[in-house]
């Protein structure tokens, strides 16, 4: 088995040189599904694994725009249309200077399995640009978004490909992109999700990834007869996912004590309360300031240039970006008595660190299961747009909760090994089978 996996990966690396994050994401899935494929020759004969790692389509394009000084700037835009076996391509757009093909291919690949786990009819995709919205004026962001959408609009549509937000893409950016799409196509359709409520958005969409991650973690805790009451939680990031993770945590009686950004982290041992979270939301979503200002305002510790994994805690919610938990962080967390890791971010834990969590038999929920709440509500935003209706907040929250419980059930079904649940195997296999069967049904396409 190990040789088969190694040969497969050698070929993949040769074919996709330099795309290290993509290699990492594929390796994790292949390790889980290869033994299953070996036992089910129909997948092998149809070369499902070889096909599933190859995007159906990759679009790369120039994004020229003018800054406030009148100078011409050029960025690179991408959309990876990875797999449409289960429905239109669906997945976010990321605006961050680190964006290149390898990061977006890893995200699109993960998205295929995640979307399958939600049980909703969505294929997988991802896109974005190496544009950095940080430090740009609203007008500069608008000019960039308009130029980006001028090209992207040719490739997307409500029944083809429906992008959403991700790092660097929130309500402001979705608004600018939607406006440009509408203007060019003369159509008011559900081509993007994450829209504002008054023009086609869904209640609970902003909250969905963070809330969903905490709901998933709650199910994990229940398998050990535990709850969030009094649990000290470390959260990284301070963007969309982190903010609503913190909110749901304190609502369920836990004590979130950290937040971070790319400069450092704050540690507030008294806990981040509703009122303090309001300050964070204003700071990050409106003033676009740095998390350091929280420490000054609430007189707590700020640690420059580090992640919060050195803080003693019961539960961990990495909610910033890929590869933020390294082997030494995992060792430290386990040593400090951490019992649960639920990933709000995509692939935030390095493979060596995952091994440490798994050996220690702590509850470890991989992002493609635990952070699927965001795309699930996006899927329901698409349904509401098609129906030209909007469902209530309570209804959406209930649907989100149900979906997260079902995803947890799927992980248990495919990942239970005696008393222990291997959530990595559970999520990978649970996501894979549905996509693979749909690919078989649809013939060699």
Stretch of 22-30, 66-74, 141-149, 340-348 lying at the interface with ligand NDP (CB under 6 A):
340-348
To the nearest whole angstrom, how small is the minimum distance from the Cβ of residue 243 to ligand NDP? 8
- Is residue 241 within the footprint of ligand NDP (CB under 6 A)? yes
Gyration radius (Cα) of the chain, Å:
21
Q: Is 213 exposed, middle or buried (0-12, 13-18, 19+ CB in 10 A)?
A: buried
User: What is the DSSP secondary-structure string of 177-242?
Assistant: HHHHHHHHH------SSS--GGGT--TTHHHHHHHHHHHHHHHHHHTTT--STT-EEEE---SHHH
Angle formed by the axes of helices 138-152 and 171-185, to 10°? 50
To the nearest whole angstrom, how small is the minimum distance from the Cβ of residue 320 to ligand NDP? 3
262 versus 386: smaller Cβ distance to ligand NDP = 262
Active-site residue, 126 included: yes
Residue 77 bridge partners (DSSP): 61, 129
Stretch of 145-153, 164-172, 394-402, 409-417 lying at the interface with ligand NDP (CB under 6 A):
164-172
The residue sitting closest to ligand NDP, measured at its beta carbon, is 239
Q: Is 15 exposed, middle or buried (0-12, 13-18, 19+ CB in 10 A)?
A: exposed
Count of residues near ligand NDP by CB under 6 A: 22
43 versus 307: smaller Cβ distance to ligand NDP = 307
Q: Is 347 exposed, middle or buried (0-12, 13-18, 19+ CB in 10 A)?
A: buried
- Is residue 110 within the footprint of ligand NDP (CB under 6 A)? no
Residue 436 has a CB neighbour count (10 Å cut-off) of 24
To the nearest whole angstrom, how small is the minimum distance from the Cβ of residue 371 to ligand NDP? 4
> What is the Cα–Cα distance from 383 to 398, expressed in whole angstroms?
16
Interaction with ligand NDP in 425-444: which residues (CB under 6 A)?
A: none
Strands 232-235 and 255-256: parallel
To the nearest whole angstrom, how small is the minimum distance from the Cβ of residue 165 to ligand NDP? 5
CA angle 43, 24, 77 (to 5 degrees): 100
Q: Using CB under 6 A as the criterion, what x/- string covers residues 368-397 for binding ligand NDP?
A: ---x--x-----------------------
- Is residue 261 within the footprint of ligand NDP (CB under 6 A)? yes
196 versus 440: smaller Cβ distance to ligand NDP = 196
> What is the Cα–Cα distance from 257 to 278, expressed in whole angstroms?
15
SS3 per-residue string spanning 424-439: HHHHHHHHHHHHHHHH
To the nearest whole angstrom, how small is the minimum distance from the Cβ of residue 170 to ligand NDP? 6
To the nearest whole angstrom, how small is the minimum distance from the Cβ of residue 343 to ligand NDP? 8
CA angle 133, 136, 141 (to 5 degrees): 65
- Is residue 166 within the footprint of ligand NDP (CB under 6 A)? yes
43 versus 317: smaller Cβ distance to ligand NDP = 317
Among 126, 136, 248, 276, the active-site one is 126
> What is the Cα–Cα distance from 315 to 330, expressed in whole angstroms?
12
49 versus 77: smaller Cβ distance to ligand NDP = 77
Q: Using CB under 6 A as the criterion, what x/- string covers residues 341-370 for binding ligand NDP?
A: ---xxx------------------------
- Is residue 277 within the footprint of ligand NDP (CB under 6 A)? no
Stretch of 29-37, 319-327, 402-410, 411-419 lying at the interface with ligand NDP (CB under 6 A):
319-327
96 versus 425: smaller Cβ distance to ligand NDP = 96
Candidates 115, 321, 349, 410; binder of ligand NDP (CB under 6 A) is 321
Joined together, the tokens standing for residue 157 give: 């549509």
366 versus 415: smaller Cβ distance to ligand NDP = 366
Candidates 87, 123, 127, 168; binder of ligand NDP (CB under 6 A) is 168
Q: What is the largest CA-CA distance in the chain?
A: 64
Strands 161-164 and 89-95: parallel
Q: Using CB under 6 A as the criterion, what x/- string covers residues 209-238 for binding ligand NDP?
A: x---------------------------xx
Residues 232, 312 contacting (CB under 8 angstroms):
yes
The catalytic residues are 126
The residues that touch ligand NDP, with contacts defined as CB under 6 A, are 165-168, 170, 209, 237-242, 261-262, 319-321, 344-346, 371, 374
């Amino acid at each position: 088995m190990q040789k088969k996996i190694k040969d497969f990966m050698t070929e993949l690396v040769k074919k996709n040189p330099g795309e290290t994050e993509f290699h990492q994401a594929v390796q994790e899935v292949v390790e889980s599904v290869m033994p299953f494929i070996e036992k089910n020759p129909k997948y092998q004969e149809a070369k499902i694994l070889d096909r599933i790692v190859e995007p159906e389509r990759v679009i790369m394009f120039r994004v020229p725009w003018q800054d406030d000084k009148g100078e011409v700037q050029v960025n690179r835009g991408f959309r990876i249309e990875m797999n449409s076996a289960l429905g239109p391509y669906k997945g976010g757009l990321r605006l961050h200077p680190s964006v290149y093909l390898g990061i977006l291919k890893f995200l699109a690949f993960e998205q295929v399995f995640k979307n399958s786990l939600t049980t909703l009819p969505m294929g997988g995709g991802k896109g974005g640009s190496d544009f950095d919205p940080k430090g740009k004026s609203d007008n500069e962001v608008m000019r960039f978004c308009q130029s980006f959408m001028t090209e992207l609009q040719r490739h997307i549509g409500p029944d083809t490909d429906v992008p959403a937000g991700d790092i660097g893409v929130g309500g402001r950016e979705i608004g600018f992109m939607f406006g440009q799409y509408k203007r060019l196509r003369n159509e008011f359709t559900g081509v993007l999700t994450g829209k504002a409520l008054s023009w086609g958005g869904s209640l609970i969409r902003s909250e969905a990834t963070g809330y969903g991650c905490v709901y998933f973690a709650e199910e994990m805790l229940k398998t050990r007869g535990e709850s969030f009451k009094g649990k000290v939680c470390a959260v990284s990031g301070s963007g969309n996912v982190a903010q609503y993770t913190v909110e749901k945590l304190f609502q369920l009686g836990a004590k979130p004590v950290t937040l971070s950004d790319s400069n450092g982290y704050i540690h507030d041992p008294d806990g981040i309360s509703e009122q303090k979270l309001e300050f964070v939301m204003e700071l990050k979503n409106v003033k676009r300031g740095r998390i350091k200002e929280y420490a000054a305002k609430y007189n707590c510790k700020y640690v420059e240039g580090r992640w919060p994994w050195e803080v003693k805690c019961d539960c961990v919610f990495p909610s910033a970006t890929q590869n933020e938990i390294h082997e030494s962080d995992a060792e430290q967390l386990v040593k400090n008595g951490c019992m649960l890791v639920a990933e709000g971010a995509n692939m935030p834990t390095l493979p060596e660190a995952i091994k440490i969590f798994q050996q220690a038999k702590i509850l470890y929920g991989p992002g493609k299961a635990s952070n699927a709440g965001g795309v699930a509500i996006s899927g329901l935003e698409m349904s509401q747009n098609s129906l030209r209706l909007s469902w209530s907040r309570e209804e959406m929250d209930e649907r989100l909760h149900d979906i997260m419980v079902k995803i947890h059930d799927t992980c248990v079904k495919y990942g239970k090994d005696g008393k222990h649940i291997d959530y990595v195997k559970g999520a990978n296999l649970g996501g894979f089978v549905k996509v693979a069967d749909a690919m078989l049904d649809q013939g060699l396409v």
